[in-house]
Structure 1
Amino acid sequence: MKNLRQILSSPYHQEDWISFLKELFAHNSGTGVILQKPQRIELSKSEKVKEAYELGNYETTEGRLIGIYQVNISEDMLLYRNKVGLRQLMKNIYKYNVDGVLVVFVQEKKWRLSYISEIIKEVDEKGKIIKEITNEKRFTYLLGEGEKTKTATDRLQLLVGKELSLEDFKNAFAVEALNNDFFDRYKDIYEDFVQHIIGVRYEMDKKTKKYIEIKKHEPHPNFDGYKNYKDYPMPHPDSETQPFKNKEYPNLFNGNKKAVRDFVKRMMGRIVFLYFIQKKGWLAVPKGKNWGEGNYDYLYQLYKETPREDQPYFYEKRLAPLFFECFTDKKSESETNDLRFPYLNGGLFDKTQDQHFDKVNLPYSIFTELFDTFNSYNFTVYEDAPNEHTIAVDPEMLGHIFENLLEDNKDKGAFYTPKEIVHYMCKESLKNFLLSKIIPNGQSEKAKDVITKIIEHQPLNEEERKYIKEKGDVITTSLENVKICDPAIGSGAFPMGLLQEIYYIKITLQQLGITLEQTDAQIKKHIIEQNIYGVDIDAGAVDIARLRFWLSLVVDEQLPQPLPNLDFKIMQGNSLLESYQGVDLSHIGSEEEIIVDDLIDYGDEYKSFQQLTFFSEAHREKIQELIKDYFTTTEDKNLKRKEINDLIEGKIHYKIIFEKHLIEKKVNDFEKKFGISSEEELTKKLQKGILTSKGKEYKAYIANKKRLLELDYIENELISFQTKIERPYFLWHLYFKKVFDKGGFDIVIGNPPYVSTKGVPEEDKPLLEYEFGFSDDLYNHFFFKGYQILRDKGVLSFITSKTFWTTQTKRNLRDLLLSQRLEYIFDTGNPFKSAMVDTCITSFSKVKPENNILLFLDGSKDLENPLHYDVAQNVFIDTQNSVIFKPTEYNMKIHSLYGKKVKELYEQWWDKISTSKNINKYSKELEAYRQSLQSGDIALLGCLTEGGQGLATANNGKYIAVRKSTKWAKNILESRPKKLLEVVKRYKTAVKVANEEEAKDYLAALSEEQIATLFDELKEKFGRDIFGQGYIYRLIEDDEMADVETLTQDEKDNGIEPTKKFYVPYDKGDKDGNRWYLETPFAIAWSKENVGYLKTDPKARYQGYQFYFREGFCWTNVLNPQARLLKTKLKVKSVNVM
């Protein structure tokens, strides 16, 4: 008898499989029954299935029955394309009362072993089925000739001889364990490659539970040249004895760690892609053989057969030529070659990003680990639906890998969305979109039922088929033209989900005879070209998203086809900013002709022109045609891309130069008016009183001079972007002009980054304020951006933190959402394994609510079986502050009893308690109100307490310091060199530092007093917010603090003499995350001079002084997302901001 590994690795033989089943159940006390002769099952005539057999059954330890079957599938049936028919077929096979199914699907030399679970039926007393719940899940092993079967063999062998439960069957087919194991090994290999080059590795800090860089050895010379090897001999990373030879290795990465990580990601991503490709038999196809008859183990053999002398240069001599010559050369497909390889085109094997890295030194030992690992797993090119699980590495795993490469993504707030949530959001978005087209002005339960059935892949009855045929033209046209965008595309999960959903609907329309027959690849290519768009700030994420779309095409091609170019479909950029450093770029491509008479160098295309016409209608249309043609071009791709980029960059530079001309004219007019020819002349005019520093004209002049300096910096930055992969803005209205010409996107969907206001870089906050009028958690901005790019009646669906339900700072978001027709809110609890945040899905249509009833789902306790509530949208609109809450019976009762009263109290009293001044102004009225209250009355907290807002300095850097003994000091020590370097790069300063290391050394040579003076002077010269609004850079020792207990009343009121210790505690509440019970890390310089300034400075708010140096508590109006409590902090005798 064959052993199990042989059985699973060979074409299916019924006798061998039955022998194993008998062995499997031989020691199970008669609970397994394998039929001596398989029982043929009579089925209705079908082109999909040849025949089906019952092989036996097994009763589990819980008394549940597992049916065992064999189904022989037609050779031309595509299993993944016939899920509805297959599901219906299986129901006919297991129409008897079984609780699970073990079934073999046989198709020529390949076969699949599936375990179908959760077939739940309710029966009456006579055993007749009265209710069936079709929530079954199918878990599948790919078996047969050429398949990797180690996992299947190991798992099934564990079942032999055991008393089996349903859980045992489930564990034998568990896909999660395989995914986690593959990822862990993949990540280790990735870290090995990165560590080899940069010398550090990300490891979890045991105290903070955060990933930090740990130095393991000196960097390889490929990383930053030989500067680390000047003073002492450095051993070779591949050997404990072999030293580096002088100049043996070129400096390839210039010390850029991110460049190294992105390179390794791309390299490993390409190898993974080729593992999927070789599954189709397209690699190394021998002369005279057809595509599909290539070497299924080519990559492993390429590695194993590398001569010893070439092994240290495996990337340079084997992989790089394969990537950048073989798959990008049409001659590789020639039938005259001894071995043929597919010409793949596309950006995946574009050498542009990696052309400088051919000589990188990567150890053969790490490649050994990589190929041994990859070769021990089965790869499948099919992405599963939520109820379909193939126990093999599939393209979705690429998304999982992207999520978990921690060093790049956790700080960006990127978290991989669970498959079930992705599919739910995609299905609901597509359903609402189609319904808006089928029944644009009303409701129809019939339309909802039929569209739901199609999207859920459920069989249709005759009447429903007729209805779909009636609406066929509308559905077809809508699907042809739908425009879908994920503005934070990440690994591409949402657009990929919608690609699959649209594809299955189109297949259904074909099967119903509504549309003409197309190949699967034709359908998908059309969807990618016409319907899908995406943007992400991370170029690595964009690479992976494109990779998944390429794989989705490859799976359906019978013969290799060039991959489409997705450079202008799935794009890198900061989707929140359509501006750069205050330069509005949103109208590029839509402005009228602009004539420039100056001779300016705008790039090669414009050098020879004296008078230039920028972005005429011809230019605009030219760019759109170039982008359209670029999708399918295989000729001179880099030249076409450069032509597009040159046109765009030329326009951006014009915008800056145009603004500079306008400002220069204002500066010249001012200088001419007041006779100013130099800085000395300006100083004299100020000293003589001819000009005043407080005058409007002078202030505008200084602001314009500062802006000119900024524009010089901005222009240099934009020039540098032409040679960089990542850009900090995105030109929505230019790149996707055709979409906006028709009003915007039909569906905007995604999982925006989970970055709080605290995590937003200080330099980005003014940019967000410029773009949106406010700066907040990034997901808030994504809602507003999503709304901006959505067309009327379009559908938006985001999964985000649910802090916006109640938080005061998110009132603007609630107002936006409640002004539109909310389709549903789904409380998903915390579905992310790594993100410590409670989330919800929010979906709205861009139409007015008009007495809308929305669906509220509560899945916080059970995501798969959420509680359903129908609630009027007006309930939230009419609630105080428009807060959102779960509309449970209990909550609705509270709302009914108190909602109106609370709103009335707020309207009556809020203006009188909103500020300290108002509390003082209305103190008698408030006291009378307090005296009138009776037991059981409802009142606002602010009416019952003495308090108000405290001091706002308007210049924290000047007045506030941090004690060196606190953890906040570490943040300042780490951030000061970066802040200094940014200012030095942007402005002409006396300080000369070229990089962060030099900035760190420069500051280390100064005393704290000198550092504070330096930062003060830079702020004085270039503007209060050059380091970021409110940035604190002063550090003091604990012994510089004054003893508050010994201060006189005069010192508390008017400040302390500078000859004495004058720093006192300064309490900022809990907005910055300080624990309520800890002493404040902040201090304020409470000198007589400073207090005098604070009292008279119109920008400062010297208020709430009656509470200074009194104990109490500080609080902010930001609710704790993990609790029902206000964020508060015990206040010592201090000056306070809240």
Structure 2
Amino acid sequence: MDKQQAKQIIQETFENPFDKGRFTLFIKNLLNHIEENRIPPRHGQFIPDAYKPYISSLARIGKFNDNENRVDILIIKLQKETSLERARTMQRNFVAGYLQGKYGSSNEKEAALVAFVSPDSADWRFSLVKMDYKFEQTQAGRMKVKEEFTPARRWSFLVGANETSHTAQSRLVNMLANDEHNPTLKELEQAFDIETVTKEFFIKYRDLFIRTKEELDKVVKSDAKIKADFEAKGVNTVDFAKKLLGQIVFLYFLQKKEWFGVGRDAAWGTGPKNFLRLLFEKNMADYKNFFNDILEPLFYEALAIERTNDFYSRFNCKIPFLNGGLFDPINSYDWVHTDIILPNELFSNKEKTKEGDIGTGIFDVFDRYNFTVREDEPLEKEVAIDPEMLGKVFENLLEVKDRKSKGTYYTPREIVHYMCQESLINHLDATINPPKTTVKEPVFTPNTPTQKKLFRDTKPRQLCLTSEKYQPVVPREDIESFIRHGDIAIEHDVTAKEKHAEKSDYNGKYKKYKLPETIRAHAKLIDDALADIKICDPAIGSGAFPVGMMHEIVRARQTLTTYLGNTEERTLYNFKRHAIQESLYGVDIDLSAVEIAKLRLWLSLVVDEEDYQTIKPLPNLDYKIICGNSLLEVEKDLSNSELFKEMEKLKPLYFDETNIKKKKELKQKIDSLIGGITENNKLFDFEVYFSEVYFSEVFHKKGGFDVVIANPPYGAEIDKITLKKIKQNLSDTNNSNSAAIFIDYGKNRVIGERGTLTFIVPKSLLYSENWFSLVNSMLGNTHILVDVEKAFEKVKLEQVVFVYSKLIHKKEYLARKFLDNDFIRSTNIFNDLVLKYKAWICDVSPEELNIGNNLKIDCVYMKDISETKRGVGLQKYLSNDGDHPVIGGKNIFRYGCNGVKGYLSKEILKSNRNKLAFMQRPKIISQDLVAHIQNPIPRIMITSFYDGTGKIIGLDTVQNTIITDSNYDHKYILALLNSTFVSWYTYKFIYCAAIRTMHFDNYYVGKIPIPKISHKDQRPVTILVDQILAANQECPDADTSALERQIDQMVYKLYDLTPEEIAIVEGEKKI
């Protein structure tokens, strides 16, 4: 079929109430061929007890095979209207059970395409549910699926009579139109890919921001009164435009809850879902200019001021009072006495887009997308604009100021999720369980079984042994199971609890609980620890980490409700509000970031407001998320302690205050106290700053935060005066990189005695010389290190994640590799090896670690037999002709040099004789930047050649190595440097598997181990090197690969590698 027909089928199927006939027709055209192997609707006894409150029936209309995977097509009818939105985990886990063959069907299914239909059929979801199978090895050595916690992932389109099908059309139309190709399961996953929609929406949103900012520029330029007001209030058009779009998009989410345009006597939740469009079309009130006459009164009167019964006469309907600051005029600009006449066409028009859609205005663009008030989760993704995606869009927008701006980059959600979970696990372990204590115990019979079991690492016949005595209240592995899998287990455990309550000797399928007994027994203790946690993001950006931590806390506490009861008080809304008020804090030097982070928290809170009788106003977050420099601090002494106490009394009152006058008075009092404490210092033109002041209640109560989690700025510019003040307070580093400073401050000054520091930082932390003092200070307390490679799209730097805990002291750490949204490797590494290599090794397998750590030959290190210096930076003096040729890194290949970079005059050579003296002797010349190669396996290639004359001059893109020990031939060392093994060793144990910007300077060259052999034994190697050099001298394109292969084999023997180890080095053996 053609694309127009395909679009029509999607539109008819997805923009109407669910119809089985239309849905079946759509599926047949989408997949081209299905086996109509129907299962009639199953309900009643066929639905497991845990799902009966939510699932009415299950029917299969067919199945589909792509030659590798089976996909079933299901229709699932839900019990209640609210189940579609609120019981998403239940729906996903119900389908997981079906795919695993638990309801009488086979388990030969990898995925299902499902229509989830609410009772009135008007709104429904079209979902792809796929099992995320994990495998384990049996005692017999076979692989089987790990059953206990096998999650399913779900991706969904929001469809039905109240939704647009624009997104579904863009993702499915090509597949539907292609009658010749049957889609694969992988292609179906790609069609449901949320990231594609995110990128598309960001581009549209950025364009809307730029147009809005440009229209504001025109207004300010043409109206002297507005210009004067903006200048007096410190308002700029960039922040104004960002806030305006943020306000509008916030209302797009809320109108989905049907809170706007509600009749005077009608209940909340009965308003139109397209309220803003109705306003624009003058259905609520007439106007001349939409922004000046409609939007400003809506923002700064209707939503910002309390009214009796929330009735707003201007629009003749109820509008909820939201409070919170989002609907305060930016910097208190005078919206009443200024007329900001933005063109009505900015909001909606009839222009045609390049995709063929009609309308390029703000409402036109937003109306094409589905907005869902439900937060995205790792296992549950909606192909729609959700609050989490909005955070990603906002963060990308932070650096956008004009049409030339590209945007910043967002920490990927999978990494945020992982960091949040690990932080929470660490916090619970540190808070609930007592610290390990060292004890001495006598041992009289060293070979008894008990001795072997408890003390297997001790020496034979030792009479008195030191050991760690440890009896945790809740074992760490139980905490991990609870945090990672609690929401998967909860449906089962709810039913199990009910069955055991009905019958004390119950022995059916729900006899065993899925969550560990220690979690159930200590539910109150765990819940208290979760409620009391204090979390700070000192570089908050758009708020991804605080929001992520809030979700993990809420999900965990919701799971515990099963064992604690009191379900009326333990609601999602109450959990979130408590977390925002008691647990979450953040700082950013960017005012836009602070406003965006607040909006994310407000939005996350309001989406779970279910009390439609009284919609609660949003809290004031001015003293929770602050603008300033989290690296500076103030002195705390007796003279200002009373000021701190008074401020800490006032801040909770301000958080909940809704009266404009009282709110203003409280803010003035708090700001006055802050002024007294800080002696009215100002920083970077912002009136607020130090976390010790704003978050003093945390430091007074706990001595610091329980969790500090962030993606701190890398290499941020810090002026000399500020940097000097900051460095006075550093404990473990002299590194001026802002990320290093954040780590030092975080671990030594911001987290409490039991605190956890979880950062994603540049990978240079692992191997760079000026980071190692910091690494040394973190060993023993860092138990997780994760190489996430290039986590940020289009950012050249690589990153690592670490989890540091003040309370945990270990002799080893877990090193992991995260790639393509999955952990592909995990290795336990002893801290002693980090000290040995002076590198925080991460991306290595146990087998690779054994090779590097167990070299069976006598070695000397390059630092003991050589000296390496960089070439000279004389590029600006180069010419096309001159007295002396000069080479650069690109002229070098293994064992040779091709061409020159340019020429230098005698005068320049003479004036730089001191710099050049080192390299004017026989030497090995190497490329300064080490090449990284991805195929067939990730590796590096050291590239060096020999200058036997000492006459070759290199620029600063090359390194010059002089062998200072006469026991070693330059050509022998050259062979080693160019060998496969030394490149592998350097990649894994010196550069810690980095892939960019590895300089081959003296520090790194010096770490390479060199086999100690005589000149006689070096001779077979140097003979081969002479043959390669001669061949390259005669023809630079000579094929010397066979000779280089012979050298590789010799080098393997020199390092005493086994055939199996050689296969690992060369990537022939998978590990």
Query: TM-score w.r.t. structure 2 length?
Result: 0.68
Q: Which runs of 5+ in 1 are unaligned?
A: 199-219, 226-243, 579-584, 594-614, 655-714, 902-935, 951-959, 967-1040, 1054-1062, 1068-1074, 1078-1106, 1130-1138
User: Offset of 1:879 from its aligned partner?
Assistant: 1.5
Residues 786 and 527 of structure 1: is their aligned pair in 2 closer, same or farther, counting only changes over 3 Å?
A: same
Given candidates 814, 821, 830, the residue that maps to 1:855 is: 814
Residues 154 and 940 of structure 1: is their aligned pair in 2 closer, same or farther, counting only changes over 3 Å?
A: closer
Residues 890 and 764 of structure 1: is their aligned pair in 2 closer, same or farther, counting only changes over 3 Å?
A: farther
- Taking the TM superposition and a 5 Å limit, the aligned residue runs for 1:193-212 are 193-198=212-217
User: Offset of 1:548 from its aligned partner?
Assistant: 1.2
Residues 964 and 542 of structure 1: is their aligned pair in 2 closer, same or farther, counting only changes over 3 Å?
A: farther
Residues 307 and 524 of structure 1: is their aligned pair in 2 closer, same or farther, counting only changes over 3 Å?
A: closer
Q: Give 3-state SS (helix, strand or coil) of 1:491's partner.
A: coil
The answer to whether 1:440 aligns with 2:434 is yes
Q: Give 3-state SS (helix, strand or coil) of 2:326's partner.
A: helix
Distance in structure 1 (CA, Å) of the matches to 2:406 and 2:678: 27
Distance in structure 1 (CA, Å) of the matches to 2:544 and 2:170: 31
Verify the 8 A CA contact 1:148 1:378 in the aligned structure 2: yes
Q: C-alpha deviations, 1:244-274, integer Å up to 9, x for none?
A: 6x85864455599992211111110000000
Amino acid at match of 2:17: P
The answer to whether 1:837 aligns with 2:856 is no
Distance in structure 2 (CA, Å) of the matches to 1:249 and 1:436: 55
Q: Give 3-state SS (helix, strand or coil) of 1:823's partner.
A: strand
- Taking the TM superposition and a 5 Å limit, the aligned residue runs for 1:885-924 are 885-889=842-846, 892-893=849-850, 895-897=852-854
Distance in structure 2 (CA, Å) of the matches to 1:565 and 1:89: 40
Given candidates 769, 779, 797, the residue that maps to 2:727 is: 769
Verify the 8 A CA contact 1:57 1:65 in the aligned structure 2: no
Moved more, 544-553 or 466-475: 466-475
User: Offset of 1:741 from its aligned partner?
Assistant: 3.0
Q: C-alpha deviations, 1:630-666, integer Å up to 9, x for none?
A: 1101122122112111121133337xxxxxxxxxxxx
Distance in structure 2 (CA, Å) of the matches to 1:746 and 1:726: 27
Moved more, 46-55 or 255-264: 255-264
Residues 775 and 197 of structure 1: is their aligned pair in 2 closer, same or farther, counting only changes over 3 Å?
A: farther
The answer to whether 1:417 aligns with 2:411 is yes
The answer to whether 1:10 aligns with 2:20 is no
The answer to whether 1:501 aligns with 2:518 is no
Amino acid at match of 1:134: T
Q: C-alpha deviations, 1:711-763, integer Å up to 9, x for none?
A: xxxx6x57xx8xx6565x4242453334443221111111111226xx44455
Verify the 8 A CA contact 2:869 2:1002 in the aligned structure 1: no
Amino acid at match of 1:393: I
Percent of aligned pairs with the same amino acid:
28
Given candidates 616, 628, 636, the residue that maps to 1:561 is: 616
Q: Give 3-state SS (helix, strand or coil) of 1:285's partner.
A: coil
Corresponding position of 1:458? 488
Corresponding position of 1:184? 203
The answer to whether 1:641 aligns with 2:667 is yes
Verify the 8 A CA contact 1:438 1:475 in the aligned structure 2: yes
- Taking the TM superposition and a 5 Å limit, the aligned residue runs for 1:1071-1110 are none
Residues 355 and 889 of structure 1: is their aligned pair in 2 closer, same or farther, counting only changes over 3 Å?
A: same
User: Offset of 1:806 from its aligned partner?
Assistant: 1.4
The answer to whether 1:486 aligns with 2:537 is yes
Query: TM-score w.r.t. structure 1 length?
Result: 0.65
Q: Give 3-state SS (helix, strand or coil) of 2:241's partner.
A: helix
User: Offset of 1:798 from its aligned partner?
Assistant: 0.8
Verify the 8 A CA contact 1:536 1:573 in the aligned structure 2: yes
User: Offset of 1:3 from its aligned partner?
Assistant: 5.8
Given candidates 754, 757, 760, the residue that maps to 1:793 is: 754
Moved more, 774-783 or 1116-1125: 1116-1125
User: Offset of 1:389 from its aligned partner?
Assistant: 1.0
Amino acid at match of 2:996: Q
Verify the 8 A CA contact 2:219 2:340 in the aligned structure 1: no
Given candidates 578, 603, 607, the residue that maps to 1:551 is: 603
The answer to whether 1:397 aligns with 2:389 is yes
Verify the 8 A CA contact 1:469 1:514 in the aligned structure 2: no
User: Offset of 1:154 from its aligned partner?
Assistant: 5.4
Distance in structure 2 (CA, Å) of the matches to 1:79 and 1:1116: 67
Corresponding position of 1:116? 129
User: Offset of 1:17 from its aligned partner?
Assistant: 3.2
Q: C-alpha deviations, 1:590-642, integer Å up to 9, x for none?
A: 4213xxxxxxxxxxxxxxxxxxxxx352x322111111111101122122112
Residues 419 and 945 of structure 1: is their aligned pair in 2 closer, same or farther, counting only changes over 3 Å?
A: closer
Corresponding position of 1:753? 713
Distance in structure 2 (CA, Å) of the matches to 1:549 and 1:339: 27
Distance in structure 2 (CA, Å) of the matches to 1:436 and 1:122: 30
- Taking the TM superposition and a 5 Å limit, the aligned residue runs for 1:674-689 are none
Given candidates 850, 860, 870, the residue that maps to 1:938 is: 860
Corresponding position of 1:48? 53
Corresponding position of 1:620? 644
Corresponding position of 2:377? 385
User: Offset of 1:824 from its aligned partner?
Assistant: 0.6
CA RMSD of aligned residues (A): 4.4
User: Offset of 1:886 from its aligned partner?
Assistant: 3.8
User: Offset of 1:341 from its aligned partner?
Assistant: 0.2
Corresponding position of 2:828? 870
Given candidates 979, 992, 996, the residue that maps to 1:1122 is: 996
Residues 88 and 883 of structure 1: is their aligned pair in 2 closer, same or farther, counting only changes over 3 Å?
A: closer
Distance in structure 2 (CA, Å) of the matches to 1:263 and 1:1066: 59
Amino acid at match of 2:480: T
Verify the 8 A CA contact 2:300 2:327 in the aligned structure 1: yes
Q: C-alpha deviations, 1:328-371, integer Å up to 9, x for none?
A: 11117435853010000101112252514654443333222111
Amino acid at match of 1:374: F
Residues 882 and 404 of structure 1: is their aligned pair in 2 closer, same or farther, counting only changes over 3 Å?
A: closer
Corresponding position of 2:1056? none
Q: Which runs of 5+ in 2 are unaligned?
A: 349-360, 436-469, 494-511, 880-904, 920-926, 930-949, 962-989, 1004-1071
Given candidates 302, 317, 324, the residue that maps to 1:326 is: 302
Distance in structure 1 (CA, Å) of the matches to 2:226 and 2:752: 54
Q: C-alpha deviations, 1:419-478, integer Å up to 9, x for none?
A: 111111111111121122333233769733432332222315437464323212320221
Residues 874 and 18 of structure 1: is their aligned pair in 2 closer, same or farther, counting only changes over 3 Å?
A: same
Q: Give 3-state SS (helix, strand or coil) of 1:840's partner.
A: strand
Distance in structure 1 (CA, Å) of the matches to 2:12 and 2:580: 41
User: Offset of 1:412 from its aligned partner?
Assistant: 13
Residues 740 and 394 of structure 1: is their aligned pair in 2 closer, same or farther, counting only changes over 3 Å?
A: same
- Number of matched residues? 815
Residues 434 and 511 of structure 1: is their aligned pair in 2 closer, same or farther, counting only changes over 3 Å?
A: same
Moved more, 743-752 or 1-10: 1-10
Q: C-alpha deviations, 1:383-431, integer Å up to 9, x for none?
A: 1111211011011122222232263599999631111111111111111
Q: Give 3-state SS (helix, strand or coil) of 1:458's partner.
A: helix
Corresponding position of 2:885? none
Given candidates 352, 365, 372, the residue that maps to 2:364 is: 372
The answer to whether 1:810 aligns with 2:771 is yes
The answer to whether 1:778 aligns with 2:738 is yes
Given candidates 243, 253, 265, the residue that maps to 1:276 is: 253
Residues 467 and 84 of structure 1: is their aligned pair in 2 closer, same or farther, counting only changes over 3 Å?
A: farther
Amino acid at match of 1:448: R
Distance in structure 2 (CA, Å) of the matches to 1:871 and 1:15: 59
Verify the 8 A CA contact 2:818 2:824 in the aligned structure 1: yes
Distance in structure 2 (CA, Å) of the matches to 1:964 and 1:475: 68
Q: Give 3-state SS (helix, strand or coil) of 1:792's partner.
A: strand
The answer to whether 1:472 aligns with 2:483 is no
Corresponding position of 1:632? 656
The answer to whether 1:1043 aligns with 2:910 is no
Corresponding position of 2:983? none
User: Offset of 1:575 from its aligned partner?
Assistant: 0.8
Q: C-alpha deviations, 1:787-826, integer Å up to 9, x for none?
A: 12111122111111110111111122112211x4222101
Moved more, 99-108 or 53-62: 53-62
The answer to whether 1:570 aligns with 2:625 is yes
The answer to whether 1:315 aligns with 2:291 is yes
User: Offset of 1:184 from its aligned partner?
Assistant: 0.8
